[in-house]
Structure 1
């Protein structure tokens, strides 16, 4: 049996097309385009998720950012910077979520 993607595990039973598009378009196409490094894409994605207050997705993308070479210090600095643009509550929520991921993954 083929291992399910994260999107398939999270939404595949309820919204299978969303899981397919997430896997085939977002991660297999958009994330693999050569115009930006995975590290840069991760920083941009974390910033966008913080700005939108999308904390559930931010957790997964924090782990991805760390795997793509973004340091915990850089994440903290980006989130501090974004507090002035996104708002204090969003930044505090994002820092709390990121810290949880970092501590869980042993990158603290």
Structure 2
């Protein structure tokens, strides 16, 4: 069971995630069938680390730049569902679709066309969802 301090950090991380994503993160954190009892602990810890520890560190790397880096990482790793979230964060924080396409041009040069095309396909869907296609 989480302490009140841990619960406060989790609440702050969820609020930060919602601000970045433009939608609540909770729908992605709901328990799934067959999830082990400690699955909720994992999701809470990962959320606090990502949205409570890493994203707020804007003193040396601003949110907009961090969003572009995150799109690049998710694309290169081929983690396509997380890429959707990173694209939403980027668009919600001032990154333009044209800048995102430039990321995929760079990904193609350094990580391969297959990864870039996969990422671009997801980006095109997210652009359409966001009304930016």
RMSD of the TM alignment (CA)? 2.0
Tell me which moved more, 17-26 or 72-81: 17-26
Counterpart of 1:21 in structure 2 is: 45
List alignment gaps of at least 5 residues for structure 1: none
TM-score (norm 2): 0.72
Work out which of the residue numbers 2, 10, 19 in structure 1 matches 2:28. Answer: 10
Matches within 5 A, 1:1-108: 6=25, 8-13=26-31, 14=35, 15-33=39-57, 34-108=59-133
Instruction: List, as ranges, runs of 4+ consecutive aligned residues in structure 1 with deviation greater than 3 Å.
Output: 2-5
TM-score (norm 1): 0.88
* Contact 1:11-1:18 within 8 A present in 2 as well: no
